[in-house]
Structure 1
Amino acid sequence: MSDEALVDSPAPDAAATPEPRTDKALMAAARAHAVEDRGRSWFALLSTIALAFALGTIAVLSPYWPVRVVASVVQGLTIVRLFIIYHDFMHGAILRRSRLAKAILYTYGVLVMTPPNVWRDTHNYHHANTAKIIGSHIGSYVMVTTGMWARMKPRERFMYRVVRHPLTILLGYFTIFMLGMCLSPFLRSPKKNWDSMLSLVVNFAITGLAIRFLGFETFFFGYFLPLAVATASGAYLFYAQHNFPEAYIQPREQWSYSRAALESSSYMKMGPIMRYFTGNIGYHHVHHLNQQIPFYRLPEAMEQIPELQSPPTTSLALKDIVACFRQKLWDPTAKRMVGYP
């Protein structure tokens, strides 16, 4: 059954609709899919690395600049896929206890300015606290209520607007990754986040050496443009996964893990090509229900668990991107996200 059929098919008769499962039962159903195919995981990692290197070679060596642009952009999407593999490894969903995988993927994390220490801490917090207003800035985009907005000072409102602005996401290489994932964490806790400084040093060194010895064009097409595409894409995907018109933020005293997964995490409709490059991260509600389901088993879990088949949806269509960017504040009275007053 296709993903679109799962989401768009009419609901069965009320008499045939089973009672919703408890949190415990639903999470147990999801746990059945948290089983890795080790060979498939290794193939995904190694084939994606090979594709990234092949595209990088074309981007650097092709004499035709349109070919270089296309190769660079597609390489950037391949880096997004590699990020999902890194992300799953950090969750313990794939290649657990493999020293080789750890060496490869930790190196990748440093290269793309998502160093392991700060990523692990902030992302685990995000999973444990999705759809909570307090602490929403840790591992995610800060969110405030309409009442909190009314009490904020002008400078606080300005910074809030900056953090959630589309340009901040478009320039994610500098804003979210270089500043947010590397510089700020290191300044906050140098000893703990030493790999954040390592990531900055490595990236500045690559930039300087590539421009000095290989030339600006080689640096741009072979390094900067792919990373710029990857970081902007990743920054938007992460935004749209929890900032969309149908998002629901539970009152803290009523918060539940499974409800946060099902109502505060989106399903992003994509075609097969973009599902490949994004490592199925569009099935974000499934991932949030159980973070140890390997990315290649997320569609299977959605197909087999009825509670996952009617998620709030978005897509990469322009109208949906605009709609997501219009969601700025949580209105607890209206029980929906709204724009700025």
Structure 2
Amino acid sequence: MTLAPLSSAASDVKQSRTDALISHADYVKQLRPLLPDEAFTPNLNKIWFLVINLAMLVAGWAIASYMDQWQWYWLWLYLPISLVMGNSVIVLLFSCHDLMHGSGVRHSRLFRLVSFLGLSMLWMPPTLWRAVHNREHHRNTNSEIDPDRNYLYNQPNTWGKWIQDRFVPSNEVSPFGLIVGMGHAWGVHTFRNMTSVVLFNRKDVDYVPAAFTISRRERWAIVREVFLIILVHVGIMASLSFDPVKLLFSYFLPIWIGHAGAMFYIYTNHMLSPMTAINDPLVNSVSLRVPKIFDVLHFNFSYHTEHHLFPGMNSDYYPMVQELLLKHYPERFHLLPVGQVWKLMLETPRHYEDDQTFTTWSGEQSMICPLTIDP
């Protein structure tokens, strides 16, 4: 899987851009001595947030179990509960995301239980998450071998690439496609990577942006975890008597809201950035300015560049990292209002023509990445 050949001049430009990159290790070497040691100690509070939000979901399902006694014209009263449950799904992902980077739980049995409970509503096996996110994505962020990057224009037009083209925010996506995609893109991401490693486990699988492999032990662990996740979801639906109305309001709608909210953040993390041959988090990642309430609710997930610099850090200290970046690297650090980032995503294509250029499915329209680095 390689990019199209470049001309000599283009190769020189690409080399100069690569030379302009700074490695993750170099940033850490400069910034880590400026941060307190307590920023890197385990934070058990996130476990309680996870437990509280699991309890909120259970309470929502308990209330929904009585919906067959409601008059149909009162069903709309459940919508605020659906919204709260949807936010709980987001919190489960982000709290588990932090915990699995080592910022909270390090006891193996407790770690496995918490990570499974936290990711079960996302249909994400914890073993798969550790492989695709912690290992592959963080080590190879927005490079050609990052499974979370945009597809390349010269990759085969597979079903995975077609789904991204139709449902991910871009200048070509339809309003209907975007709405559908917001609620289902997380599931597609999970299914795509899970089937790639469980069914094939080869680096030539072409329907993922970048295929990776895992060990035999990890493959069987993923299968076991998927089976347990299915049991959890069947149990939830059974507790709701498989009633379509109950399932719509208290199961499907919260999951759609939760997945859409998570994807709103995730789309902005790297998909608007150029690809980088060297893992330079200030170039290949974006941090957002969002209303403070969302940082409180979602563990400072908007501080995404800061997270990629120090993934094991207690997220409460990300604002401190941001202050250091604004002081030491103001010209490199992408800190943008969330509305501006979303607008840029809807104004640009989503396939990489090269590491600095986006292009459409047909290749007829190309644009330089708005966050490109100057050679």
Is residue 227 of structure 2 the alignment partner of residue 198 of structure 1?
yes
Give, in whole Å, the separation in 2 of the partners of 1:308 and 1:222. Answer: 45
Question: What is the aligned partner in structure 1 of residue 136 from structure 2?
Answer: 125
* Partner Cα separation in structure 1 for residue 45 and residue 304 of structure 2: 21
2:290–2:338 CA contact under 8 A, matched in 1? yes
The letter of the residue matching 1:110 is S
Q: Is the contact made by 2:350 and 2:358 (CA closer than 8 Å) also made in structure 1?
A: yes
The correspondence for 1:248, drawn from 274, 279, 284, is 274
SS in 1 for 2:103: coil
Whether contact under 8 Å (2:142, 2:275) holds in the other structure is yes
* Distance in 2 between residues matched to 1:199 and 1:315, nearest whole Å: 40
Q: Distance in 1 between matches of 2:43 and 2:126?
A: 22
The structure 1 residue matched to 2:116, chosen from 103, 106, 109, is 106
Alignment of 1:180-195 (within 5 A): 180=192, 182-188=194-200, 190-195=219-224
Which residue in the other structure is 1:272 paired with? 292
What is the identity, as a one-letter code, of the residue corresponding to 1:238? I
Gaps of 5+ in 2: 1-24, 169-176, 202-218, 366-375
Partner of 1:86: 96
Closer, same or farther in 2 for the Cα pair 1:284/1:329, shift >3 Å? Answer: same
Q: Secondary structure at the match of 1:143?
A: coil
Determine helix, strand or coil for the equivalent of 1:113.
coil
Distance 1:294 1:106 in 2: 21
d(CA) in 1 for partners of 2:50 and 2:57?
A: 11
Report what 1:312 is aligned to.
334
Q: Are residues 186 and 169 of structure 1, via their aligned partners in 2, closer, same or farther at CA, if it must alter by over 3 Å?
A: farther
1:263 counterpart letter in structure 2: V
- SS of the equivalent of 1:193 reads helix
Identity of aligned residues (%): 16
Question: How far apart in 2 are the matches of 1:65 and 1:232?
Answer: 22
SS of 1:268's equivalent in the other structure is strand
1:168-209 CA-to-partner distances (Å, cap 9, x unmatched) read 4432354233x2355554334652422353255325523652
Aligned to 2:8: none
Change (3 A) 1:188 1:236: farther
Q: Secondary structure at the match of 1:191?
A: helix
Shift of the alpha carbon at 1:222? 2.0
CA displacement at 1:218 relative to structure 2: 2.0
Q: Is residue 103–residue 314 contact of structure 2 (8 Å, CA) maintained in 1?
A: yes
Question: Is the 8 Å Cα contact of residues 50 and 91 (structure 2) preserved in structure 1?
Answer: no
Q: 1:170 pairs with 183, 187, 203, which one?
A: 183
What stretches of structure 1 of length at least 5 have no aligned partner? 1-20
Change (3 A) 1:297 1:50: farther
- In the aligned structure 2, how far is the partner of 1:152 from the partner of 1:102? 36
The answer as to whether partners of 1:60 and 1:221 remain within 8 angstroms in 2 is no
RMSD, aligned α-carbons:
3.2
Q: Structure 1 175/194 Cα, relative in aligned 2: closer, same or farther at 3 Å?
A: same
| Separation (CA, whole Å) in 2 of partners of 1:49 and 1:208 | 16
Q: Using a 3 Å threshold, how does the CA distance of structure 1 residues 31 and 331 change in structure 2: closer, same or farther?
A: farther
Q: Give the direction of change, closer, same or farther, for the CA distance of 1:235–1:24 in structure 2 (3 Å limit).
A: closer
Report the residue type matching 2:183 in the other structure.
Answer: L
Distance 1:48 1:239, change over 3 A: same
1:143 equivalent to 2:163? Answer no
> Is 1:268–1:316's contact at 8 Å kept on the other side of the alignment?
yes
TM-score (norm 2): 0.68
Q: Does 1:297 align with 2:317?
A: yes
Deviates more, 1:231-240 or 1:221-230: 231-240
Deviation at 1:30, TM superposition (A): 7.0
Aligned amino acid, residue 310 of structure 2: N
Following the alignment from structure 2 to structure 1, what is the Cα–Cα distance between the partners of residues 236 and 256?
13
| 1:45 matches 2:50 | yes
Structure 1 residues 208 and 78: alpha-carbon distance in aligned structure 2, compared to 1, 3 A threshold = closer
> Could you list the per-position Cα deviations for residues 296-325 of structure 1 after superposition, in whole angstroms to 9, with x for gaps in the alignment?
2212322344346663244543x6424224
Structure 2 CA distance for partners of 1:69 and 1:271, relative to 1, 3 Å = same
